[in-house]
């Protein structure tokens, strides 16, 4: 087994690290406080090629591997998970879905501007009652011959207000259950399509999370992705890759909190010496470092399997399940290491702790990941 990164991967990692420190860190507390979307920062991420990292260059992508993608996600998430989730959705869900299953026309019209960062995409699966259960879609798409008539509501949509292109999962043939579901490309501005108010969230407050309403929205037939009834399979295949991105985000949040806790423990003194020299703190740091390294290996393995064209369903779910737990555990401990200062915004760790929680919820809760893993293990 080979654990070293290539020279190109190291360069990409460093570029992401520099961007996070120079572009994301200044103002990150203010953006969190005021729920401000990182517009300028996302634009620059697009210019760097980070919004279409794994897309073929012929579609304006960077043509990089999944390992490079998780390296970027990790570095950005150390500083600002609100920005990294934009990268995650645009890469793992939207661009991947279009490149893997879209028609030549769809790739030309929609994938190219998304991969270049000219436009931002959103993946619309969750609903008020169905959540992430793709088999229970209440949003409907009635076949009208030349077009589909879309009606329904989607919840918790990342990039909901800033996106221009939306991949929407809807039910066309209720009697066929999951085999009657379709996936559609919907454009902002289509008549009957409205964006609800921005959600006031616990964490990733800078990200753009909205409900979306569809009221007799006419979607052209050519905007359906795949054959009639392909929507459920499309959603499941797309989410498999999305879990790797979220696992990398969780890993980055944990690593960022760990680095802050380690630095603080060397500077803060009690009883005449740095608190890092007290066994109570040293053991915390040891546990945190071990958990993070274990999570990193799971995340990198899942990305490597994807790069090799090997099955990665189980590996992706394991990475997402474990890394999100580590993110929560480590950020809580990082706040504890900081003591009272950990409760203060200017020390960053309280924000990282709030951001960590969402990694256990989106792209399928921890319970859903356990269902996926157990199914794969039994199989």
Q: What is the DSSP string of 189-253?
A: T-TTEEEEEEP--SS-TTS-EEEEEEEEEEEEGGGEESSTT-HHHHHHHHHHHHHHHHHHHHHHH
Ranges of each domain in the chain: 7-120, 122-229, 232-378
Coil/strand/helix, residue 169: strand
Residues in the chain: 379
CATH architecture of 232-378: Up-down Bundle (1.20)
pLDDT at 129: 80
The catalytic site residues sit at 363
Domains 122-229 and 232-378 share a fold: no
Its pTM stands at 0.95
CA-based torsion, 293, 360, 214, 199: positive or negative: negative
d(Cα 359, Cα 243) in Å, to the nearest integer?
Answer: 10
pLDDT at 136: 78
Closest CA to 168 of 87, 235, 246: 235
Number of neighbours of residue 233 by Cβ within 10 angstroms = 17
pLDDT at 366: 87
**Alpha-helix runs per DSSP H in the chain:** 7-19, 28-34, 39-47, 66-79, 81-88, 96-101, 104-106, 112-116, 231-267, 279-307, 313-338, 349-358, 366-378
Per-residue pLDDT of the chain (379 residues; tens, 9 = 90+): 788 999 999 999 999 999 999 999 999 999 999 999 999 999 999 999 999 999 999 999 999 999 999 999 999 999 999 999 999 999 999 999 999 999 999 999 999 999 999 999 999 999 988 765 677 789 999 999 999 999 999 999 999 999 999 999 999 999 999 999 999 999 999 999 999 999 999 999 999 999 999 999 999 999 999 999 999 999 999 999 999 999 999 999 999 999 999 999 999 999 999 999 999 999 999 999 999 999 999 999 999 999 999 999 999 999 999 999 999 999 999 999 999 999 999 999 999 999 999 999 987 788 889 999 999 999 8
Whether domain 7-120 has CATH 3.30.70.890: no
CATH architecture of 122-229: Beta Barrel (2.40)
């Amino acid at each position: 087994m080979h654990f070293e990164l290539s020279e190109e991967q190291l360069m990409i990692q460093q570029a992401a690290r520099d961007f996070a420190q120079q572009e994301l860190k200044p103002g990150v507390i203010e953006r969190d406080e005021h729920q401000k979307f990182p517009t300028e920062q996302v634009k620059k991420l697009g210019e760097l090629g980070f919004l279409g990292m794994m897309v073929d260059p012929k579609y304006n992508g960077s043509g990089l591997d999944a390992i490079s993608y998780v390296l970027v996600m990790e570095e950005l998430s150390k500083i600002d998970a609100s920005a990294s989730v934009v990268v995650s959705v645009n890469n793992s869900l939207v661009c991947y879905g279009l490149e893997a299953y879209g028609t030549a026309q769809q790739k030309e019209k929609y994938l190219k501007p998304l991969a270049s960062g000219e436009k931002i995409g959103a993946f619309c699966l969750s609903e008020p009652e169905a959540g992430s259960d793709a088999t229970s879609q209440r949003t409907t798409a009635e076949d009208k011959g030349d077009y589909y008539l879309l009606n329904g509501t989607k919840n918790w949509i990342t990039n909901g207000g800033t996106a221009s292109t939306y991949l929407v999962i809807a039910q066309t043939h209720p009697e066929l259950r999951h085999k009657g579901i379709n996936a559609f490309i919907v454009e902002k501005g289509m008549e009957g399509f409205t964006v609800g108010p921005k959600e006031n969230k616990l964490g990733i407050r800078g990200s753009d999370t909205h409900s979306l309403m569809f009221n007799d929205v006419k979607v052209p037939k050519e905007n359906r992705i795949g054959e009639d009834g392909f929507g459920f399979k499309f959603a499941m295949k797309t989410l498999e890759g999305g879990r790797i991105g979220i696992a990398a985000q969780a890993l980055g949040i944990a690593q960022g909190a760990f680095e802050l806790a380690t630095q603080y423990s060397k500077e803060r003194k009690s009883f005449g010496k740095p608190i890092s020299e007290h066994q109570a703190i040293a053991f915390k740091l040891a546990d945190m470092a071990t958990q993070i390294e274990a999570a990193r290996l799971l995340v990198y393995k899942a990305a490597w399997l994807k790069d090799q064209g090997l099955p990665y369903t189980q590996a992706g779910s394991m990475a997402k399940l474990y890394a999100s737990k580590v993110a929560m555990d480590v950020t809580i401990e990082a706040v504890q290491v900081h003591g009272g200062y950990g409760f203060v915004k200017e020390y960053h760790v309280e924000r990282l702790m709030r951001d960590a929680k969402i990694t256990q919820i989106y792209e399928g809760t921890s319970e859903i990941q356990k269902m996926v893993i157990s199914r794969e293990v039994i199989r």
